Amino acid sequence: MTKHSLLADASVRSRNKLPGYYLDGHGLYLQISKSGSRSWIFRYTLNRKTREMGLGSVDDFGLAQARERAQRARQLVADGIDPIDRRDADRKALALVREAEVAKLKTFENCALEYHQANADEWKNLKHAAQWINTLRDYAFPKFGRLPVEEVSKAEVVRALQPIWKTKAETASRVLQRIRTVMNYAAAKDYCKGRDSEFWEQVKMSLGPNERARKVEHHNACPYPLVGAVVKGVRAGPSSLIVKSAFEFTILTAARSGETRGALWSEIDSKTGSWNVPEERMKAGRPHNVPLSGRALEIIRQMHELREAREAHSDMGLIFPSTQGLPLSDMVFTQLLRRMGLAYTMHGFRASFRTWGSEQTKYEHEMLEFALAHTVGNQTVRAYMRTDMLEKRRHLMEDWHRYMRRTQDAEIANLLKQ
């Protein structure tokens, strides 16, 4: 029910009024709900459409304030502007301003962690996910992690990467790529303005070339005639049996060191004499079956006997566990080679295998590439090689072992002269 008498402060404060609308005048009403709550309403007609606009609670605005708010709304109606539409537009504009202010507070580290979390289901495996963010923690966050992402300039990026641009060329190039990804993500979320390709080209120009350093980092491979001698030297060295066995097993299978260090007993198929590495542990994201040579199988048997002898089954099912039952460190093979005075990289032994296969055998290019778990041909070709060519690849791996054994003594003198 609508009352038509003007309101006074006393009547507004009174709680004896019945639910309904109480007119103050010029479209302003005191509204009392059935629950007893009281608020201000401005009723107006514009373009033949009648609307009610809430002006707030009586607890927040007294009668004088409500009249002022109603007066401002009436002025808009007089100008042909819908006050509700104007209020909504103002709120949206204010929200955008606030979002912009919040965005300015987003640091580079905030954005990197947000991107990392947003893509949690997209990483190839947990190790890759950890490496991705850890490289930023190590090299980018200490330099400009707390800086608002909008303020990250070429100077900050260059300052972070300069110390490792040539000494850790491959790592530095990956960090640069990840910084760029974070900045693109931040721009996509409107946390900052986007950086164009010229920005990143200028960063590289400031840092200077590092392609040669990357090649050295990638291809510091042992010449294949010396691989057997290196393995023999490692066997005679002071490292633990597990480390020496893991080292030799990695070379025999032409595997990546991480695949060996994470190898599980459940991945060994004793019936087929194969090592079946699941897709989540492979760089290409596809399962890889490795036919094991006689020597590789012998190492597996030795590791099994060692495990049984120590009666330790808290090693996470690892074939080559550390003394703590955890995966071996990613530096364990590098340190082993350095103690021998050798500058070869563990990854380089894969190149040794590939070069030997090309120069000393008649095996097809595709088979050599597949033995390295590289992508070869289309899906049909890969399926064929994974099945019918398994035994042919077993001959390949056996020939690789025979070559290593045949050259281990003949080349040892050359190795020691280096």
Are 166 and 253 contained in the same domain? no
Boundary residue ending a domain (214, 249, 276)? 214
The residue among 9 and 54 whose pLDDT is bigger is 54
The string of pLDDT tens digits covering residues 353-373 is 999 999 999 988 888 888 888
Per-residue model confidence as pLDDT tens digits over 111-150:
999 999 998 888 766 767 888 999 999 999 999 999 999 8
CA distances to 46, 66, 374, 401 from 74, in Å: 11, 12, 74, 93
What is the Rg, in whole angstroms, of the alpha carbon atoms belonging to the chain?
A: 36
Question: Is position 103 within any domain?
Answer: no
Residue of 227, 204, 260 whose CA lies nearest to 373: 260
Nearest to 214 by CA among 177, 255, 247, 262: 177
The confidence score (pLDDT) of residue 392 equals 86
Residue 135 exposure: Cα atoms within 13 Å on the Cβ side: 20
- Asked if residue 230 and residue 209 are part of one domain, the reply reads no
Q: What percent of the chain has pLDDT over 90?
A: 52
CATH of the domain at 25: 3.30.160.390
Residue 197 and residue 120 share a domain: yes
Domain tally, the chain: 3
Alpha helices in 38-196 (DSSP H): 63-78, 83-105, 108-118, 126-139, 141-144, 154-161, 169-188
| CA–CA separation, 5 and 22 (whole Å) | 8
Tokens linked to 180: 């760029």
| Close Cβ partners of 378 (under 8 Å, ≥ 6 residues apart) | none
Residues 209, 229: one domain? no
Range of the domain at 74: 2-95
Q: Do the beta carbons of residue 40 and residue 32 sit within 8 Å?
A: no
SS3 state of residue 145: coil
Contact 220, 348 (CB under 8 A): yes
0.85 surpassed by pTM: no
pLDDT (mean) for 322-348 = 88
Residues 161 and 238 occupy one common structural domain? no
